[in-house]
Amino acid sequence: MKGYSFLLLSTMLLLCLSGCAERNQALNMSNIPAAHHIEDADIFVESSSKSQNFQGGTDAQDLDLAMIRLGEDNKTERLVLDSYKQNSATQTPSIKAKRSGKYQISYTPSQQRILATLHGYRALSALGSSGTKQFPSSRYIKEVTLLKQTAPQSYTVSVILKEDAAINIFELQDPARIVIDIKEAFAHVSK
């Protein structure tokens, strides 16, 4: 029985070896490139260079863009545009609005500029008499500037960035806030 098992095992081994040699010749292994080791490599996904457009808000009147705040969270800078209503007793924009006025916002990465047209605003007091707010400590935002009043209660402002970035814009309610999230232009993905 031992001799028969040895003979069977030897025959199977020879068949396997000859089959492997024939298969390697048929595949012509020299034409197959060697695999590249990328275990620790980083992968970057580039953001779009086309303009991005956002819109939202609701019909409103007599709002005031009374505050522009900048915060940072997890490598994302957040520019917050707070909408207020005028307090008739004190004649100041001290009542937080429930909803933002209508807005159309576009971002053009090649110009590093965000243009926002805001409707339903009687004033943009957050920009003061100069019409500009600087952000020297911001990584991404250079300044926010009033460009023009396009119609009664409609304004266009420009957000100039220091570098190309990826942005996302959304609205929060009660109190009303238009939020612009800004982060680096390349989304970093690692293995």
What's the pTM?
0.70
Residue 52 · residue 167 · CB < 8 Å: yes
pLDDT at 27: 33
pLDDT at 150: 80
Q: Report the percent of the chain where pLDDT is more than 70.
A: 71
The C-alpha atoms of residue 77 and residue 116 are separated, in whole angstroms, by: 18
Q: Is 170 exposed, middle or buried (0-12, 13-18, 19+ CB in 10 A)?
A: exposed
At CA 124, angle to CA 120 and CA 130, rounded to 5? 150
Most confident of 23-27, 48-52, 130-134, 147-151: 130-134
Q: pLDDT of 90-129, one tens digit each?
A: 778 889 999 999 999 999 999 999 999 999 999 999 999 9
Q: What is the mean pLDDT of the chain?
A: 79
CA distance from start to end of the chain: 54
pLDDT at 172: 96
Q: Is 154 exposed, middle or buried (0-12, 13-18, 19+ CB in 10 A)?
A: middle
